[in-house]
Chain A
Amino acid sequence: MLCQICKVNPASIHIQEIVNGKKQTIHLCLSCAGKKTLAHAMFDGMDLGDILNSLEQNLAEMGMPAPGREDGAADGEKKVCPVCAWRLEQFRETGRLGCPACYESFADELKNTLAFAHRSCVHTGKLPLYLPQKQTGKKLDSMEERLGMNRERERQIETLERDLAESVRREEYELAAELRDKIESIRRALAACQPVKTADGDPC
């Protein structure tokens, strides 16, 4: 039986899922299964990377090639961070990234991981005093610059509110609820960063 995703490698992993209340069995090769389930597994305390590796070893011991890993590795697996040369495969194996730029390099692949691990996808905590710009630091020492950060957040809210109105118009209520939560978290971050007026009227 061939893998249902790549339709090239033999399926060696069979996963049962409940989709819309119906039980479905999906037949996958090692490579596609890794992509499909690693994000879930990492946060359930189960190291699927290890399981896949041991499966590969077992296949090798039986004299069978590990499907999808030699020449058939999908393009995604070969993805490399241009800044630090960390491979997507290394992230899949270890759950760790190579450098701060990996967050951009693997942005698509990280979406699920971040969604599983966190309450939302927007930072609402503190800001560093020294805000990095590329590799040289820019010191955020004035209130003016801190407010610049807030203006960025206000712009984000405006865009999200437009998306929200659009999703309501299209009756996509699940998406609308997500957008509403996101707007709410940014608003809270904004409130936390407003300058406080002292008795003299100076921002402190």
Chain B
Amino acid sequence: MSDLTVPWAKARRKKADPADIVFAWSGIRLARNLEGEAFPGNSSPDRRRAVCAAVREALAGRDPQWSYQNAELLNARDAGLLEEARLLPGDFYQNPQGRAILASPGNAAMILVNGEDHLWIRADRPGLALDRVYPPLDALDDHLSSRLAYAFSPDLGFLTSDPANAGTALRAGVFLHLPGMMLSGEEKILQRTAEPLGVALTGFHGEKDRFPGNLYELSNRGGLGESEAEIVARVTAAAHKIAEEELTVRADLKRRHPERIMDFCSRAKAVLANAYLISATEAMNALSGLRLAEEAGYAEGPAAARNWNELLLAVQPKHIAAAFGYEPSAEERAIRRAELLRARVAPAEG
């Protein structure tokens, strides 16, 4: 794949709202299928290749700058990097026959053909930007829907391979950095807050019970009974609500339990400055500590100027391995990761 840019890891513009420090990145995915075609999980590689060709043709002429990548010709290294950046689902490359990736310049919008559904149209941006991400996706979807007969029912909306996605088939997700919730032991309250807001919380790797780096992805559940605009507004409002709670909890901790924050931050700083072997999870957690330290004023550092999303991605195993030119051992990766962190983020005072 010629362009491996990760749109959510690009540098952010200056933040205006204090709650912005909590938002890491956000994105939207629309799932679409073609009428009269079996879903990809039930169709032959040849039928899937025909779907790839139809999608490619439908897009041709709209924007000639879009790139087309046959998944069968994608190399394992690039696929790994895209997977780690969450631009490709985990199983996409494992069975690449009849699958393709269409991407606009800088991967600002991508269409994955024949993953779980015929089309997954997606876009991500740093910060909380769902309301800006949706309109161009909507326009792209309109363009495609004027050329492709989508599988659609007036009652059930866009029909998807997983019935839980039917309806708008829109999934809006926001990544939040919530170290305050972890330090105050409020994770349970967090789940209780999320439930009535109709949103689900998952970790960076999609798990429901582990949140490395204190990162939480908040996303909508269900796509029937709400319009696209309502889902975007609801998820945005839920993200704001949780961000406000996080800031309240941080202020409360700073006032009543400053040792908890200071301990977490100091340990993180010490790890980043002194580790010679560090795993991806430990690195994510230490980065969370340094970020909190800088944001809370416990460490000198350009918290606002740092690109935390890019750092988070840079410490992931396949991103570390990509620099080697061969498949490094886990220990070699851990050594390289520690070097990278000492060079790029270790605070001077340790």
Contact of B225 among A103, A124, A131 (CB under 8 A): A124
Given A103-B163, A126-B227, 12 more A-B residue pairs with CB atoms under 8 Å apart are A100-B159, A103-B159, A117-B221, A118-B222, A118-B223, A118-B225, A122-B225, A124-B230, A125-B226, A129-B142, A129-B146, A132-B152
The reply on B18 being an interface residue by CB < 8 A is no
A96-B116, A96-B162, A152-B154 given; A119·B225 CB < 8 A: yes
Chain B residues within 8 Å of chain A by Cβ, number: 46
Judge whether A100 and B35 touch: CB under 8 Å.
yes
Q: Which residue of B lies closest to A185 (CB)?
A: B225
Contact in complex: A132, B150 (CB < 8 Å): yes
Which residues of B (145-203) have their CB < 8 Å from a CB of A? 145-159, 161-164, 166-168, 170, 198
Please tell me which stretch of A11-19, A58-66, A135-143 contacts chain B, meaning at least 4 of its Cβ atoms lie within 8 angstroms of it: A135-143
In the complex, the answer to whether A96 meets B35 with C-beta atoms within 8 Å is no
Binds A, one of B6-14, B36-44, B243-251, B302-310: B36-44
> What are 9 inter-chain pairs, A to B, with CB distance below 8 A?
A94-B41, A98-B41, A103-B159, A121-B224, A123-B153, A125-B228, A128-B145, A141-B146, A188-B227
Who on chain B is nearest to A127 by CB? Answer: B152
Binding site for B on A (CB under 8 A): 42-43, 45, 84, 86, 94-100, 103, 110, 113-114, 117-132, 134-137, 139, 141, 149, 152-153, 185, 188-189, 192
A118 — which chain B residues lie within 8 A by C-beta? 164, 166-167, 222-225
Does B132 make an interface contact (CB < 8 A)?
no
Q: Is the CB of B164 within 8 A of A117?
A: yes
A113–B163 CB distance below 8 A: yes
- Provide the bound-state CA to CA distance between A123 and B222, in Å: 11
Given contacts A129-B146, A132-B35, contact A114 B224 (CB under 8 A): yes
- Return the 3 tightest CB-CB contacts between A and B, nearest first: A120-B225, A123-B157, A137-B149
Q: Out of A125, A134, A188, name the residue touching B157 (CB < 8 Å).
A: A125
The reply on B208 being an interface residue by CB < 8 A is yes
Residue of B nearest to A137 (CB): B149
* Pairwise interchain contact B42-A99, C-beta atoms closer than 8 A: yes
Q: For residue A43, which residues in chain B have a CB less than 8 angstroms away from its CB?
A: 164
Closest residue of chain A to B228 (Cβ to Cβ) is: A125
Q: Is B33 an interface residue (CB 8 A)?
A: yes
Whether B259 sits at the interface, judged by CB under 8 Å, is: no
Asked whether any CB of chain A lies closer than 8 Å to the CB of B138, the reply is yes
Please give, as numbers and ranges, the residues of chain A lying within 8 Å of B224 by CB-CB distance.
Answer: 114, 118-124
